Amino acid sequence: MRKAIVNFKGMPAGIVEENETGFVFRYDDDYFHNPTQRAISLTLPKTQQAYYHTSLFPVFYNMLPEGANKEILCRVLRIDENDFFGLLLATAQYDTIGAITITPTND
Domain that includes residue 11, residue range: 2-64+92-104
Task: Show the beta-strand stretches assigned E in 1-107.
Answer: 2-8, 11-19, 22-27, 51-53, 100-104
**60 — pLDDT class (breaks 50, 70, 90):** very high
Distances (CA, A) of 65 to 22, 42, 47, 49: 21, 21, 29, 29
Is residue 50 domain-resident?
A: yes
**107 — pLDDT class (breaks 50, 70, 90):** low
Is residue 77 domain-resident?
A: no
Is residue 85 domain-resident?
A: no
Q: pLDDT of 61-90, one tens digit each?
A: 999 999 999 999 999 999 999 999 999 999
Is residue 70 domain-resident?
A: no
Total domain count for the chain?
A: 1
Provide the pLDDT for residue 98: 84
Task: Indicate the burial class of 97 (C-beta count within 10 angstroms; 0-12, 13-18, 19 or more).
Answer: exposed
**106 — pLDDT class (breaks 50, 70, 90):** confident
Is residue 75 domain-resident?
A: no
